[in-house]
Every structure is written in C-alpha cells, then in structure tokens.
Amino acid sequence: MPTEKKQKSSIWGGRFKTGPSDLMQEINASISFDKALYSEDIQCSKAHAEMLKQQNIITHEDFTAIQNGLNKIHSEISNGKFPFKVELEDIHMNIETRLAELIGEPAKRLHTARSRNDQVATDIRLYLRNQIDHLDDELKNLQKNLWKKAKENTQTLMPGYTHLQTAQPISFGFHLAAYIEMIGRDRQRFQDCRRRVNESPLGAGALAGTSFPIDRHLTAKLLGFERPMPNALDAVSSRDFALEFLSIASICAVHLSRLAEEIVIWSTDRFNFIRLSDEYTTGSSIMPQKKNPDAAELIRAKPGRIIGNFISLATILKGLPLAYSKDLQEDKEPLFDTQKSLSISIATMSGMIADMKINAVAMRSALQKGYPTATDLADYLVRNLEKPFRDAHHISGKIVALAEKKECALEKLELEEMQKIEPKLDESVYNVLKIDTAYNARASFGGTAPKEVKVRLAEIASRFNLADESN
C-alpha cells in the first residue's frame, strides 16, 4: 500500500523533492522520549546564543529575542502547553521550529556554528550530570537510614551465614554496615564517572569543528562543564560516558538486589527476623493472611532491565564508525529507563529500611540452632591445647556431630561427653561455647564485636559525611 507523502522538512528539506513516508517518519522520530531533555536543550541553546553574541556572530537584538523566545518555550513545555510535533522528529527541531514561530528570523540564526550532533551530546551530558547528583543524594539518604539502623543494632545478635547456612555469630548492625560500604563505593564510582560526563562537546559542530570564530571555553564555562572536549570528532561520536553510567548503575542495582533478597528472606515466617511496614508491603487478592514484600521483590528484579540497558547501549556502540550515525539516537531510552528504575529502587529501599522492625528474639534463637561457636571451639583447642588448626577443626566437628545427635546446643553438652572426644578439655571450654563471648571476641579490625563496629560506624559516618545529620 503506498504511503501518503508528507510535507518536506522545514529544517533539512532543501534538497528533497518529497517528504518522508509515514514509516520513515515513525522510525526516525525520537520526540516521544527525547522531550525529557527539553530543559537541557534550552540551557544548551541559551549558552550557545550567549557565546554567538559575545563573539559578534549574532547581534545583541537577535540574542535578546532568542533568550525571550526560549524562556517562553520553557514555560510552555513545563505547563504542558507545547505543541509537540512528530514530523519535527526530535526535541531540538521542535524547539527550534517553535522559536521561529515565536520570534521569526533571529531563530534561524541560532543554529549557526552548531549541529544537532554536538547539541544532543551536550544535552545528554547535562542530563546525566543532574541525574548523577540526584542519585548521589538518594544513595546518601539510603546510607543514612542504614547507618541509623546499624547503630541501633550493634548488640543485636543474628546468625552470619555462608552458603545461607549458619556460620558465625554477627550483629545485625554489622550486617547492615556491610551495605553502607557497598553503597559508598557506588557513590564513589558515580562521582568518578561524573568527571568524565562533565566535559563540553558543544561547538564540535557536525564532526570537524567550525570556521566561525566561536569560543568553546566560554560555552563550557556557561554550562558548568570542566572544559571543552579537545577533539571534535570524539566529542560527537563518543558515548562511553553514558555506557559508564549504565555500568555503574548496574553494579549499584545488583547491590540493592542483594539487600532486597535478604529482606525477602528475613521477612518470611520461617526466618521472621524483620517485619516490614504496611507501607512497603501488599496483600493478596485471595489469601487474607498475606503480607507480601513486593517492593523488595521489585528491587530484586530491577537489575533485569538495568543490566539489559547496559547491554543494549554497548551493543549499539559496538562496531559503530565515527562520527555520528542515527544509531546513537537509541542511547536515550536505556539511559532514561535506568535512571528511573534505579532512582525508585534506592528511594524505596531507603523507606523500607527506615520503617522495618527488628525481631531480636527470633534472630537469637535462629543463631542458637546453628552451632555458630564451632569455629571458636576449634580456635580454643589451638590456643589452649596447642593443637594444629586442622586437628582442632576435626575435633570440633566431632563435638558438633555429638550435639546434633543429642539435639542440643554445644554449651549444653556435658564435659564428660566432650572429653570422650578430647580428653584434655576442661570447664574453661564453656566460655568459648557461649555465643556472646564468641561474638565479643571478634574484635579484629573490621570484625563484628560491638566495640569494633561502633568505631567503624563512627569512621564511615565521617568518611561519607553521614553523622552530623544522622545523630
């Protein structure tokens, strides 16, 4: 079926006889999603116009008209009054065309010494810089909420697991503090990425610079960028800053997903370590007793799309020749989706952590069932009976097997029974079999003993500037 011929583009239609087909228009248009960049696009155009004026490339009058027109467009878009047109492809051409409607001739001078290629690269960098700052605020808030809960629970004993089998006694505060460190590294990675995002492609032109006497240092400065990018071809072609953002977001989402999974496990009726608030759970449409950890499950699932977005952009970029190809238009949706998914994951996790109630009794009783002091017994045999650690491990294992057979905790075994396994044992062994002794003893740097955790919590609070506002 022949498609209806459209009007030629008012922006680039000069060398064309007819307009694009419906399908061409549909596959080509990005306005449905890149309108999210309107604020950055206007910011970028204002800086460009300012520079054109200062370099005497446009007149002061043209500049003023452009500024006023762009301000009007900004308020039209933010008030939902802007007539977006799909035939104008993208946010850049929608804004430029509207500017011409509003101010006439001067609008046509705005694109002097600029291309959509450097324009879009600038817009994305401005967008990502903002979003990194926003994510950093949210991550800091999450760290603070974890920190408060950790501080309240440096004495709350729980089983530390390896293979999800009881390993050694730890405190709940110690466990949460591990996530404060992980989130801290995510924040550092985003900050590091921000330095590479914060460079200006504006003025690179289509790919090779321009013959106009522009001042790229000025536009970089006006937009708060660290410097203009030194190679015009690189400036319009590269998206490694975006890929880096997506990879860091993926790592961060993986961290949140691990915590989310623990929350799901801890809140089951088998574990019953924590209770989530009504605000972060949902009910079942059929089973009235249910209180499901949907928020945690969704955070657990988000890396599905967030890692997918990384793979998506990496695949788009792979094998792409320099400089601009339309493939690059496909960079936006992965970025927007990752930003949205990660941001809501962090904020929801923060709320869930702040609201959750800890069941210290259930944590302690789970700990008692798992022979968590077996390592301490082996260490005792090394220290007090001078056994080699491997032999000590073996003896301790036999004593655990005995307790298992008798279905009792290690400290409930009679001394005589243990002496049948290791005759040199005496009463002092009971000190190490006690959970509280075992856990207080792990006071090595970074260990779980409450006094050590308190020192580390104070240190991390100052490292990440959490304490002043958290105390």
Of 449, 267, 279, 289, the residue nearest 376 (C-alpha) = 449
Binding mask 69-108 for ligand ARG (x = CB under 6 A): ---------------------x------------------
- Residue number with CB closer to ligand ARG (201 or 303): 201
3-state secondary structure of 283: coil
Question: Catalytic: 217?
Answer: no
- Least distance to ligand ARG from the beta carbon of 37, Å? 9
Residue 28 neighbours by CB distance under 10 Å = 14
| Shortest reach from residue 125's CB to ligand ARG, in Å | 13
Report the Cα–Cα distance between both ends of the chain, in Å, rounded: 70
Q: What minimum distance in Å lies between the beta carbon of 52 and ligand ARG?
A: 20
Residue 329 engages ligand ARG in binding (rule: CB under 6 A): yes
Task: Verify binding: residue 116, ligand ARG, rule CB under 6 A.
Answer: yes
**Token pair for residue 332?**
């936006």
Q: What is the DSSP letter of 7?
A: P
Q: Using CB under 6 A, pick the residue from 36, 51, 120, 170 that binds ligand ARG.
A: 120
Catalytic residue check, 284: yes
Catalytic residue among 32, 284, 325, 462: 284
Cα dihedral sign, 469-133-258-456: negative
- CB nearer to ligand ARG: give 223 or 328: 328
Nearer to ligand ARG, 130 or 272 (CB): 130
Please identify, using beta-carbon distances, which residue of 36 and 449 lies nearer to ligand ARG: 36
Cβ at position 326, least distance to ligand ARG in Å:
6
The first and second tokens of residue 44, run together, are 């970028």
Q: Of 244, 247, 243, 239, which Cα lies nearest the Cα of 117?
A: 239
**DSSP codes of every residue in 77-144:** HHTT-----GGG-SHHHHHHHHHHHHH-GGGGGTTTT--HHHHHHHHHHHHHHHHHHHHHHHHHHHHH
Minimum gap (Å) between residue 5 Cβ and ligand ARG: 21
- Strand (E) positions, 352-421? 357-358
Is the Cβ of residue 73 or residue 328 nearer to ligand ARG in the bound state? Answer: 328
Sorted by sequence, the CB contacts under 8 Å of residue 471 that are 6+ apart come out as none
165-224 residues near ligand ARG, rule: CB under 6 A: none
Quick one: which of 63, 127, 174, 324 contacts ligand ARG (CB under 6 A)?
324
Least distance in angstroms from the C-beta of 180 to ligand ARG: 38
Nearer to ligand ARG, 207 or 455 (CB): 207
Q: Is 328 in the site for ligand ARG (CB under 6 A)?
A: yes
Instruction: Mark the segment that binds ligand ARG (CB under 6 A) among 103-111, 210-218, 267-275, 324-332.
Output: 324-332
Amino acid symbol at 141: N
Sign (positive or negative) of CA dihedral 297, 302, 307, 312: positive
Least distance from ligand ARG to the Cβ atom of residue 117, Å: 5
Q: How far apart are CA 462 and CA 468, in angstroms?
A: 8
* Cβ partners under 8 Å of residue 115, min gap 6: 204, 205, 206, 207, 236
If the CB atoms of residues 90 and 199 are measured against ligand ARG, the closer one turns out to be: 90
Tell me the one-letter amino acid at 432: V
Which range in 115-123, 211-219, 273-281, 417-425 contacts ligand ARG by CB under 6 A? 115-123
Of 97 and 171, nearer to ligand ARG (C-beta) is: 97
Q: Which stretch binds ligand ARG (CB under 6 A): 39-47, 77-85, 171-179, 325-333?
A: 325-333
Please give the size of the binding site for ligand ARG, defined by CB under 6 A.
10
Segment contacting ligand ARG (CB under 6 A): 63-71, 171-179, 227-235, 321-329? Answer: 321-329
Cα separation of 62 and 108, whole Å? 10
CB of 440 to ligand ARG, least distance (A): 59
Q: How far is the CB of 90 from ligand ARG (least distance, A)?
A: 4
Q: One-letter amino acid identity for 80?
A: G
SS3 457: helix
- Treating both helix axes as pointing N-terminal to C-terminal, what angle do 303-317 and 240-266 enclose, rounded to 10 degrees? 160
User: Could you tell me which stretch among 114-122, 163-171, 369-377, 422-430 binds ligand ARG (CB under 6 A)?
Assistant: 114-122
Scanning the structure block, which residue is given the tokens 């408060």? 148
CA distance 283 to 290: 5
Rg (CA), the chain: 31
Return the number of the residue (84 or 161) whose C-beta is nearest ligand ARG: 84
Interacting span for ligand ARG (CB under 6 A) from 40-48, 180-188, 225-233, 320-328: 320-328
- Find the binder of ligand ARG among 20, 30, 110, 232 (CB under 6 A): 30
DSSP E strands in 276-332: the ranges are none
Q: How far apart are CA 118 and CA 131, in angstroms?
A: 20
Residues 6 or more apart in contact with residue 454 via CB below 8 angstroms: 154
Q: Which residues carry out catalysis?
A: 163, 284
- Catalog residues that contact ligand ARG under the rule CB under 6 A: 30, 34, 90, 116-117, 120, 324, 326, 328-329
